[in-house]
Chain A
């Protein structure tokens, strides 16, 4: 079942912060976050596994509430390069496929 992302779109000024949410109706094993720019491949940002393990880029932070099957991606002090569509991908078991949400389009303006 496809996870639900919110908001669908957000516009920021450089330096502002944003939070993108992802929720699932299924018990999750993992949540992944990717950013995709138009016409390019999705690029990995963060992975959060059941049990608390996390891996990702230094400037990116995220949380995973296993009980609520919810994850949030925190973008702080946004830069122009942060613009793109952010997708969460959820997995229900180890080494299983990811189902992506519909994406959150982030635009950072000067």
Chain B
């Protein structure tokens, strides 16, 4: 069965650079979520989209933005990267009132 696809799996950037993460949800799932997870931490909700419209916003810095495109894939754009942005970024998708299916995550390292 198709799963949530995230790319890239690993990303190394310098401070103040920009990074873009991509997420391809499971077909026919109408909601996409982005979570940030630091080492040993719980996943922190960043933002979600329902049917390509932003539905919820969590602790997402102003330096970050996200969108969902007509083909339902989503991108998380991060600018002016800081050391503290180093984390595992998960994308998840879900059907209506269903469980979240997580991608394998994109590990961002900011040097």
Contact = CB atoms under 8 A, between A and B. Distances in A.
B42 A95 contact: no
Contacts of B48: 97
Interface string A75-110: 000000000000101000011111111110000000
A44 B30 CA distance: 18
A94 B97 contact: yes
Interface residues of A, number: 25
B58 interface: yes
Interface string A41-84: 11110010100000100000000000000000000000000000
Contact of B43 (A40, A55, A94, A100): A100
Contacts of B101: 44
B45 A97 contact: yes
A79 B44 CA distance: 29
A99 B45 contact: yes
Contacts of B56: 96-97
Contacts of A43: 102
Contact of A40 (B35, B96, B104): B104
A96 B58 CA distance: 11
12 contacts: A40-B104, A41-B103, A41-B105, A42-B43, A42-B90, A42-B100, A95-B94, A97-B33, A97-B58, A98-B100, A99-B58, A101-B42
Interface of B: 30-31, 33, 35, 42-45, 48, 50, 55-56, 58, 88, 90, 94, 96-105
